[in-house]
Amino acid sequence: MSNEAARILIVDDAPINRMILSSMLASYGVISDEAETGSECIELCRKNAYDLIFLDQRMPELDGTDTLAQLKELFQETEKDIPVICHTAEDIAKQADTYKAAGYTDVLVKPAQPKLLAALLAKYLPEGSWSGELPSEDTAARLDEEIALLPAWLTKSDREDLNLRAGIGHCQTTKDYLNALSVFVRSISEKSDEIEQLLQKEDWKSYTLRVHSLKSIARLVGADALSDRAAALETAGEQTDVDRIKEETPALLEQYRAFSPLLAHITAESIGLGSNIRMPDYVRNSILFIEGEDGFIPKAIVNKLRTADFDVVCLPDNMDVISDRKDEGEILLYYLPKTVEQALRTTPSLLSLCRTGHKTLCLAGEPFSIERLQAQEYSDQVHAFYQRPIDIDEMVADMKRLSASHDEFYRLKTVLVVDDDPSFQQVISQWLSADYNVVGVRSGSEALSYLEHTRPDLILLDYEMPELDGYQVLEQVRQNPMTAQVPIIFLTGQNDKDHVMRILNQKPDGYLLKTTSKEDLLATLNRFFVNTILDRKK
């Protein structure tokens, strides 16, 4: 079984698609590189060895088909046979055979579903090269364990309109699922009355938005049949099919309101949003100095760093010792040994430690050793190389900048959640409140008013809202020089091809479905801040 992490190349001209897929791969312990164009893809494949390539079909200049043709030629030259997966927003059922006939190994529709992605990784990656697994009996057992923690009155219910397994699968834990159910049931009266009033007023635009939000929150808690019925009426609203709306809405409201007695035992106390914000613990201005060589220069570096108020922990070139004390430093500075083979063994392990702990690796040493390390395929993951003769003052200045970036990463971030559905907003706020300062507003105009005085670190923006929709909010935020740099990730309940392409064409900083699980949402936000802060080069 291989002990080396798999390495995958993601090729897509949309940064958001690369970010989402990279985040998902990282959760499986997979290393990923990114290319924006077909030409960049070819260049990276000449330089690096990959286990798998995800290739977007629709790109400017070289599209997926042209890029694939050049890859095939490269594979023949180098005698490689790397699987190339078509990563597309097309209808997979209609296009899969066409893509395979064009030479792709397989197809993954985007936005990628974790289950389908895991199946492809299991099929094409070397055994032991990734930490994930196919949904199996173990996954089923975990869900069984979570369900066993649910109140007896809920698990013994004979109602078939609440899929407990699906709901816990979305929310990850019993506690979070009960909290989501609490939010869901407390909003039934208000939301159902609102839908009924809009029906009577024949305000089809607002009606469509309300059944859309009902579709999303119902899917989240496992009320699949209710969500399907709401989705059908959302389509009717978009098509202004008044007869169908008037005919089927009463049944929707009856089914929706029936959840009130079913979930009567869910109390307000079970929401437990919590007001305490948790920040990760780490040691500020701290460096793990790994002594591959004992001499005058390493000692001079350590002394200079300590004079600059860094807490320097000196460790031997021994991974057991380094792993035991990894939490004592945020930056790893490895002074390479004279024996380059030792450095070649240690460096990949240090990079693995950095990936899992959000740390940064820098290397220093003799020119020959530095050149050998720079020639390795993982060299782009090293933040900086310092070749003798070393300008120690410049190195210390770099360490100060790096330490500041770690401070920025661990600073408590403010996330502005913009969604006209208070139920969904409450669930998202609950999920994020342990790690972020969460501010919620219910309209685009409220969001713009908030931004007049405060700059959040990130905006989670609902796309479908009355008055100002997500696109209009993004446009105004981008046009204002004071807010233009605030990143925006769209949250939407739509995942059809036309809707996804419309959002991606607006070039937000991210795109997530409202059915995204708590685990995936937190992983995506964490990956976003890692990419924008800790992964910055000098």
263-283 b/e (C-beta count within 10 Å ≥ 16 → b): beebeeeebeeeeeeeeeebe
Question: Do the domain assignments include residue 132?
Answer: no
Could you say which of 375, 409, 443 is where a domain stops? 409
CA pair distance 168, 419, nearest whole angstrom: 23
DSSP string spanning 94-113? HHHHHHHHTT-SEEEESSPP
Let me know whether 397 and 435 are in one domain.
no
Indicate the pairing of strand 414-418 with strand 331-335: unpaired
For 237-359, list the strands marked E by DSSP: 286-291, 311-316, 331-335
pTM tops 0.75: no
Residue with tokens 């004992």: 294
- Domain span at 256: 148-270
Identify the three-state secondary structure at position 400: helix
For 304-324, write each residue's pLDDT tens digit. 999 988 889 999 999 888 988
Q: Can you give the pLDDT at residue 52?
A: 95
**Are 472 and 494 within one domain?**
yes
pLDDT of residue 270: 42
Whether residue 22 lies inside any domain: the answer is: yes
Question: Can you tell me the distance from the alpha carbon of 294 to that of 133, in angstroms, rounded to the nearest whole number?
Answer: 44
Q: How many angstroms separate the CA atoms of 24 and 135, rounded?
A: 15
User: For residue 329, what are its two tokens?
Assistant: 């430093």
The two tokens of residue 477 are: 């935020």
Q: Are residues 494 and 513 in the same domain?
A: yes
Does 472 map to a domain? yes
Neighbours of 477 (CB within 10 A): 21
Give me the number of domains the chain comprises.
Answer: 4
Write down the pLDDT at residue 256: 92
Q: Is residue 433 situated within a structural domain?
A: yes
CA angle 39, 116, 521 (to 5 degrees): 85
Do residues 429 and 396 both lie within one domain? no
Percent helix, strand and coil across the chain, each to the nearest 5: 55, 15, 30
Per-residue model confidence (pLDDT) at position 334: 95
Q: What is the pLDDT of residue 271?
A: 37
Which amino acid, residue 102?
A: A
Q: Do 296 and 347 belong to one domain?
A: yes
**How many helices, marked H, and strands, marked E, lie in the chain?**
24, 15
Q: Per-residue pLDDT tens for 523-538? A: 788 778 776 665 554 4
Indicate whether 280 belongs to any domain: no
Q: What is the pLDDT of residue 42?
A: 93
Instruction: Please list the residues that pair with 287 across neighbouring strands.
Output: 312, 331
Look up residue 40 and give its DSSP letter: H
Calpha distance 470→459 (Å, rounded): 11
Quote the mean pLDDT of the chain: 81
Specify the amino acid at residue 375.
Answer: A
Cβ neighbour number for residue 478 with a 10 Å cutoff: 16
Both 398 and 428 in a single domain? no
Nearest C-alpha neighbor of 134 from the set 111, 115, 108:
115
In a domain, 131, yes or no: no
Residue 281 covered by a domain: no
Q: Are residues 191 and 254 in the same domain?
A: yes
Q: Are residues 112 and 19 in the same domain?
A: yes
Q: Which amino acid is at 90?
A: E
Beta bridge partners of residue 512, listed in sequence order: 491
What is the phi-psi region of residue 373: left when phi exceeds 0, alpha when psi lies from -120 to 50, beta otherwise? alpha
For residue 502, tell me if it sits in a domain.
Answer: yes
Q: Which residue has the tokens 């083979």?
A: 341
Annotate 197-257 with DSSP letters as a single string: HHHHHT-HHHHHHHHHHHHHHHHHHT-HHHHHHHHHHHHHHHTT-HHHHHHHHHHHHHHHH
Q: Is 152 helix (H, G, I), strand (E, B) or coil?
A: helix
- Among candidate residues 409, 430, 458, the one where a domain is terminated: 409
* Domain of residue 265, CATH code: 1.20.120
**Residues 113 and 179 reside in one and the same domain:** no
In this structure, the number of other CB atoms found within 10 A of the CB of residue 284 comes to: 11
Question: Of 394, 409, 424, at which residue does a domain stop?
Answer: 409
Q: Looking at the structure, do residues 405 and 290 belong to the same domain, yes or no?
A: yes
403, 419: one domain: no
* CATH code for position 380: 3.40.50.2300
As a whole number of angstroms, the distance between CA 514 and CA 445 comes to 21
In the prediction, which pLDDT does 535 show?
56
Low-confidence ranges of the chain (pLDDT < 70): 1-3, 14-17, 19-20, 23, 27, 60, 89-98, 110-112, 132-140, 152-153, 156-160, 172, 264-284, 356-357, 407-411, 493-506, 531-538
DSSP state of 507: -
159 class by beta-carbon count within 10 Å (0-12 exposed, 13-18 middle, 19+ buried)? exposed
Q: Are residues 373 and 472 in the same domain?
A: no
Q: How many CB atoms lie within 10 A of CB 497?
A: 13
Query: Cβ atoms within 10 A of the Cβ of 345, count?
Result: 12
